[in-house]
Amino acid sequence: MADMQIAGIAGSLRRGSINRGLLRAAVSLAPAGMTIETLDIAAVPLYNGDVEAAGIPAPVTALAERVRAADALLIVTPEYNFSVPGVLKNTIDWLSRVPGSILSGKPAAMMSASPGLLGGARAQYHLRQIALFSNMLFLVRPEVIVMRATEKFDANGELTDEKTREKVAELLAALRVWTDRLLGRSA
């Protein structure tokens, strides 16, 4: 199997975010031959058509180049007010505006974690809706929806729940197969 490069984006800017912890867990659980690069979205400015008309900002261009170079995306989203965080939506808005349609046809997977009982499921639903316009191709199953997430991470923000770790590993294995299929590679 060819090496696979995954661009990982956490939709939270908070250093102690459980969703950033979930992305860190994915990095450590990636199967052999898969590398997940964690991309930082903190420097992405708020989308403004006037700013875009003057030229794509450097932080957006740098992020877009990492996304373009990746074989697939792994987006980890918290749930804010029954939806995705504004910073994540803003990032997708900018990436959809970069010349070359870098998101179109891009294999992708998502995960979410929340202290609540739905584990970010509503945010995942909205993320799928948002992705339709840009034609990102999200893996449907397995789903990683981490309910009562504060019980599954330690004080350092590391994922300790073994069943959740198994589901993350299962998702990453499925993302590998999905990406190879969509990119026309044999497994």
Question: Residue 28: which CATH number?
Answer: 3.40.50.360
For residue 1, the model assigns a pLDDT of 52
177 inside domain: yes
Of the pLDDT bands very low, low, confident and very high (cuts 50, 70, 90), residue 122 is very high
For residue 73, the model assigns a pLDDT of 98
187 inside domain: no
Q: How many domains are there within the chain?
A: 1
Q: What is the DSSP letter of 44?
A: P
Length of the chain, in residues? 187
Task: Calculate mean pLDDT across residues 106-127.
Answer: 94
Task: Calculate mean pLDDT across residues 64-83.
Answer: 96
For residue 141, the model assigns a pLDDT of 94
What percent of the chain shows pLDDT beyond 90?
93
Of the pLDDT bands very low, low, confident and very high (cuts 50, 70, 90), residue 187 is low
Q: Which residue has the tokens 């639903």?
A: 125
What percent of the chain shows pLDDT beyond 70?
98
- From CA 149, how far away is CA 151, in angstroms rounded? 5
For residue 2, the model assigns a pLDDT of 63
For residue 81, the model assigns a pLDDT of 92
Give the global pTM: 0.95
pLDDT tens per residue, range 27-70: 999 999 999 999 999 999 999 999 999 999 999 999 999 999 99
Task: Calculate mean pLDDT across residues 94-101.
Answer: 94
For residue 140, the model assigns a pLDDT of 93
Of the pLDDT bands very low, low, confident and very high (cuts 50, 70, 90), residue 130 is very high
pLDDT tens per residue, range 10-26: 999 998 999 999 999 99
- From CA 148, how far away is CA 153, in angstroms rounded? 10
- From CA 160, how far away is CA 162, in angstroms rounded? 6
For the CA atoms of 7, 10, 16, 21, the dihedral, rounded to the nearest 10 degrees, stands at -60
For the CA atoms of 67, 73, 78, 84, the dihedral, rounded to the nearest 10 degrees, stands at 70
79 inside domain: yes
Identify the domain containing residue 61 by its residue range: 4-182
For residue 47, the model assigns a pLDDT of 96
